[in-house]
């Protein structure tokens, strides 16, 4: 097996994902969001009108740590945004909502 040069290794590490790889990663993240029951419930609860953190915590029925963990997941995935005291779904979050059976 040929040895990889330092320059080749650095180029491989700095390489950006292809469009196809980025799309596959995006779909995998959406599946991850939708397969978790607490996340599905949070998305449905937030809905198109949004909820405050206290409303969300009460309606979903989770503790503060679980709620914060899931909120971070949604924000990093660009599914959720914070507007003042309200949590609102982004356009990507609305796509998730539309994929949850009623």
Give the span between the Cα atoms of 7 and 96, in whole angstroms. Answer: 41
pLDDT at residue 98, rounded to an integer: 94
DSSP label at 62?
A: -
Q: What is the dihedral of CA 48, 28, 64, 92, to 10 degrees?
A: -20
Distances (CA, A) of 85 to 26, 73, 82: 28, 18, 7
> Going residue by residue through the chain (102 aa), what tens digit of pLDDT does each one get?
678 788 777 877 787 878 888 788 888 888 888 999 999 999 999 999 999 999 999 999 999 999 999 999 999 999 999 999 899 999 999 999 999 987
Tell me the domains of the chain and their CATH numbers. 24-98 (1.10.10.10)
Q: What is the pLDDT of residue 16?
A: 82
């Amino acid at each position: 097996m040929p040895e990889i040069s330092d320059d080749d290794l650095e180029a491989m590490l700095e390489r950006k994902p292809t469009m196809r790889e980025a799309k596959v990663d995006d779909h995998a993240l959406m599946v991850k969001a939708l397969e978790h029951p607490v996340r599905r419930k949070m998305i449905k609860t937030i809905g198109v009108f949004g909820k405050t953190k206290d409303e969300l915590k009460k309606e979903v029925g989770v503790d503060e740590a679980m709620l914060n963990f899931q909120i971070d997941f949604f924000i990093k995935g660009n599914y959720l945004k914070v507007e003042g005291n309200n949590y609102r779904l982004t356009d990507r979050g609305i796509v998730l909502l539309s994929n949850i059976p009623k």
